[in-house]
Amino acid sequence: MVRIDETQPFIPVRFAVLSVSDTRTLETDKSGQTLAERIEGAGHSLADRAIVTDDIEAIRAVVSRWIDDAGIDVVITTGGTGFTGRDVTPEAIEPLFDKRMEGFSAVFHRISYDKIGTSTVQSRATAGLAKSTFIFVVPGSTGACKDAWDGIIAPQFDYRSQPCNFVEIMPRLDEHLKRGKLRG
Could you report the per-residue pLDDT of 94-126, keeping only the tens digit for each? 999 999 999 999 999 999 999 999 999 999 999
User: Mind listing the domains of the chain with CATH numbers?
Assistant: 12-183 (3.40.980.10)
Task: Tell me the C-alpha distance between 114 and 128, whole Å.
Answer: 24
Contacts of 143 (CB under 8 A, 6+ apart): 115, 116
The residue that leads in pLDDT, 183 or 37, is 37
pLDDT tens column, 150-175: 999 999 999 999 999 999 999 998 87
Give pLDDT, residue 180: 52
- CB neighbour burial string for 30-53, b if at least 16 within 10 angstroms, e if fewer: ebbbbbbebbeebebeebbbbbbe
In the prediction, which pLDDT does 60 show? Answer: 98
Share of the chain above pLDDT 70, in %: 95
pLDDT for 183 equals: 45
pLDDT for residue 72: 97
Rounded to an integer, the average pLDDT of 54-62 is: 98
Strands 74-78 and 99-100: unpaired
User: Is it the case that residue 61 has pLDDT exceeding 70?
Assistant: yes
pLDDT, mean over the chain: 94
pTM assigned to the model:
0.94
User: In whole angstroms, how far apart are CA 132 and each of 69, 99, 101, 171, 179?
Assistant: 11, 10, 13, 9, 15
Contacts of 165 (CB under 8 A, 6+ apart): 155, 156, 157, 158, 159
Decide: 157 and 13 in contact? Cβ < 8 Å.
yes
Give the pLDDT confidence score for residue 177 in this predicted structure. 61
Question: By the 8 A CB rule, do 124 and 81 touch?
Answer: yes
- Contact assessment for residue 43 and residue 100, using Cβ atoms and an 8 Å cutoff: no
Q: Are strands 133-138 and 74-78 parallel, antiparallel or unpaired?
A: parallel
Q: What is the arithmetic mean of pLDDT over 4-22?
A: 95
